[in-house]
Amino acid sequence: MASKKHISHDSLVQTSLFGETTAPIERDRRNKLVEPTKEFKAKKEEIQHLITEAIEALTILGIPFGNSSWRKMERTAMAVLATAQVNTISGWGGTKDLNDGVNMKTRDIIRYINEYFEEKISPGSYDDIRRADLKLPIIGSIVVRTNEQLARNDPSRGYAINPILTESLRGIGIDGWQERLREATAKITTAAERLDTTRQMELLPVTLPDGFEMDLSPGEHNQLQIAVIQKLLPRYGYGADVLYIGDTANKFQVMKTEKLKELNFFELSHGELPDIVAYSEAKKWLYLIEAVHSSGPISENRLLELKQLTKDCKADIVYITAFLDRVTFRKWVQNIAWETEVWIADAPDHLIHFNGDKFLGPYIHMLEQTVEELEEDENV
């Protein structure tokens, strides 16, 4: 078992900005040292250690602190620790995330910081948490919003840690944790990458049916997901609202957990989720959509897996595999499961129905029709 490695405050701070414990910390181009504030130095040693450890972790995860003051870095670190519900008692091993039901509102975060990190932040400054302290962690996919349907300035909107990073965060302080955290950055688009001017120009904008605007990272897979939202759902979604959509860079790009729980949807995890989940209130249908570019159609095995996972779901399920064009579809046609639908973006007005008693809808197993019923069908 890996041992807990204790690092001094100074070496933690130095590592956080340079990746080398022997290098000094530079605040700006004039090579001025980032000096912790006297208020920070007055805090208990274990609190100082936890906060500087968080600053180092955030730096590894791509938060570009750049010319930020010590207080700015400290505030960001405390906001993330509060969102993760980590303190000197629980340690990093107690990290909680979106899948744990965490929904930390800005006022909750202030209360947590004041209670565990010897602060006296005014409850009225809750907007600073959203606009400043959590801005970069949200951009960098470290923290996710829990109620996407609410306005961004709604103080009741909650935040949680991105479940993709949870295990890596829980290992902070154990030998080798920095390297494991660096490896975890491959699963997200970091804030540094998102704020890069060239990359920003490449992002793909999309507006969801409820009017929520978002950006997806570039690539054919996300182009297909946008086509599903803009072309498939308006034609066959019966007013469906998108409850979940993953990005190739951030699997939990949009997730409406409250509605998913209301429908008794299965426990969410990175490996099991389809690309898009949408729900039609009018039809009481839940659409599970796989957007296939290079892999991942709804095969017989995948269908069985999804049926098992959604066996307690209150809605009827529609299974759809989406392709960009017919050339891609032909590559995968032999893998498509019966009792599912196929939609092709370059022919958006058509669906391909693989067997069943309906053209589009949840496939419900029924007794075989009698000869008389079949004859009646032919006469209609």
The label of the residue with tokens 């250690």 reads 49
Q: CA 182 to CA 117: how far, in whole Å?
A: 27
Asked if the 203-354 domain carries CATH number 2.40.50.140, the reply is no
pLDDT (tens digit per residue) in 137-168: 999 999 999 876 555 556 567 999 999 999 99
Which of these ranges, 2-11, 45-54, 308-317, has the smallest mean pLDDT? 2-11
Residue 50 reports pLDDT greater than 70:
yes
pLDDT (tens digit per residue) in 59-99: 999 999 887 899 999 999 999 999 999 999 999 999 999 99
Residue 322 reports pLDDT greater than 80:
yes
Per-domain boundaries in the chain: 9-188, 203-354
- Indicate the class that CATH gives domain 9-188: mainly alpha
Average pLDDT over residues 120-133: 92
Residue 320 reports pLDDT greater than 90:
yes
Q: CA 36 to CA 42: how far, in whole Å?
A: 10
Average pLDDT over residues 88-114: 95
Name the pairing type of β-strands 316-323 and 285-292. parallel
Number of other CB atoms surrounding residue 226 within 10 Å: 17
